[in-house]
Structure 1
């Protein structure tokens, strides 16, 4: 039933730690999911430095999905979106042929507080890798929810459990947030060929084994999976139909190595527009020198 267990690897992104799960040497993708970071959990005191902010940087070939349990951050991108995200909300950004964005923590900097959430990248199907970039924001009231028997569930994106999310995905997939009370049971059906579950909080039992916060379980296809909450727990369910091999270098994802090289050249040469509200700085390509002020106009 369980093919693989992946333990998160803690990474410091400059004053802010994340737990990276995907990509992993033994499993690059689960369905179209090619990147999975647990942001925090972290406690911030008011007045922390701007080094925690994620400066403007580029993407191609993917959609990014940001979802918070606690905290607040502000998204800005090159198609003109400026959007705070709060717990339970979804920021869905499609990079396609190319987009740049930043993530700022003004609210936490002003007030302090906790940050805890998940950011994941979803690879676009080959025929959609070069679509126009775009952005959409979705409030929790518009997402399907379910509650019974100690289980609360929200369908964030895709289709599962007979429901469909409004988030505009481009391939068959599912992404679900579960909260379970201690002793509660819930089952993941077998409808998708690639499935995984990430324990975001607490302890759960699956197939007679216990798993804790920071672990992703990747399941073999064909059989439903029963979860029992040993403690109060949060679990993220994810997966879908595979989209084929993808190459990933820095923030670029593509089915073509040549396309990634072109994206690197475009970023280095200043051919990718920065967010209007963030045109004074950006993250240089790894290995390149730090940029001068206002290098792109």
Structure 2
């Protein structure tokens, strides 16, 4: 039955970032992308000590879109096109890097006093080649903006794309599906078969797929065309991600994604030379270009 449903199973690589852990399932050696998704990180869940917080200093991106979605806590986002937004659970931040953007992510001051909570998913989307060098852009959709399926012990928020007859307002460049599925004990929901490539990820709790147990923090790439049912006996939270298959590969080095290796090398030189734009209100520090980054996948 497993082979009938599951095309590939991707195990996480866990990084301890001091106070919280990040579990990364994309990119992986066996597989780089699922639809346009080329990076899949779970942050936490964690509760940081009072007075502390996350401080991801300004850093650059090119030729991708980042998607930040929280289960708990809050993150302050600032970027080089002037965005200054607080993201909270159920909302989505979509930052399109285009030909180049710089941003920082920090715990808001009002969260630090009591010790910030951190729990959520950050993904990157590869861009179609025609859109890679577009102007940078930023989009925030509140939790109330995103459609919700409520049926049979399920609350499934559609973050991007079209699922279960619902359509999210979030911009998609390639055909994309992305949903946050919260299953009450005994809840179930069918998995839509419309996308070329799909994957399921149990972020919290437990779930089964047509009776097969899904391990937490593991990305299960589904076989195309199947319509299995996701269930949970005790309750769980599962992310569904995917979309159209890309015909050409994407290269990844650190925070840079592109269809061109030379374009990534140009971005590396530009960041080292200080040629990227600054983040208004957060321009006193930055992350240097690493010699050997944690994220690299040159096909």
TM-score range, shorter chain: over 0.9
Q: Return the alpha-carbon distance in structure 2 between the equivalents of residues 2 and 207 of structure 1.
A: 11
2:58 aligned partner: 56
1:103 aligned partner: 105
Say whether 1:129 aligns with 2:138: no
Cα shift at 1:231: 1.8
1:65-96 per-residue CA deviation (whole Å, 9 max, x = no partner) reads: 10000000100100000111111111110001
Report if aligned partners of 2:188, 2:231 keep a CA contact under 8 Å in 1: yes
Q: Return the alpha-carbon distance in structure 2 between the equivalents of residues 287 and 176 of structure 1.
A: 35
2:296 aligned partner: none
1:88 aligned partner: 90
Q: Return the alpha-carbon distance in structure 1 between the equivalents of residues 211 and 91 of structure 2.
A: 34
Cα shift at 1:139: 0.6
1:291 aligned partner: none
1:166-220 per-residue CA deviation (whole Å, 9 max, x = no partner) reads: 1111111110011111222211121111000110111111243212321211111
Unaligned runs of 5+ in 1: 289-297
Task: Find the partner of 2:6 among 2, 9, 17.
Answer: 2
**1:1-297 counterparts in 2 under 5 A?**
1-48=5-52, 52-106=54-108, 107-243=110-246, 244-287=248-291
- Going from structure 1 to structure 2, the CA distance change for 1:137 and 1:18 (only over 3 Å counts) comes to same
Q: Return the alpha-carbon distance in structure 1 between the equivalents of residues 111 and 216 of structure 2.
A: 24
Q: Return the alpha-carbon distance in structure 2 between the equivalents of residues 278 and 14 of structure 1.
A: 22
Cα shift at 1:230: 2.6
SS of the residue corresponding to residue 66 of structure 2 reads strand
Report if aligned partners of 1:202, 1:212 keep a CA contact under 8 Å in 2: no
Cα shift at 1:235: 0.5
187-196 vs 109-118, greater mean Cα deviation: 109-118
Report if aligned partners of 2:68, 2:121 keep a CA contact under 8 Å in 1: yes
SS of the residue corresponding to residue 28 of structure 2 reads coil
Pairwise CA RMSD of aligned residues? 1.4
Q: How many equivalent pairs are there?
A: 286
TM-score (norm 2): 0.92
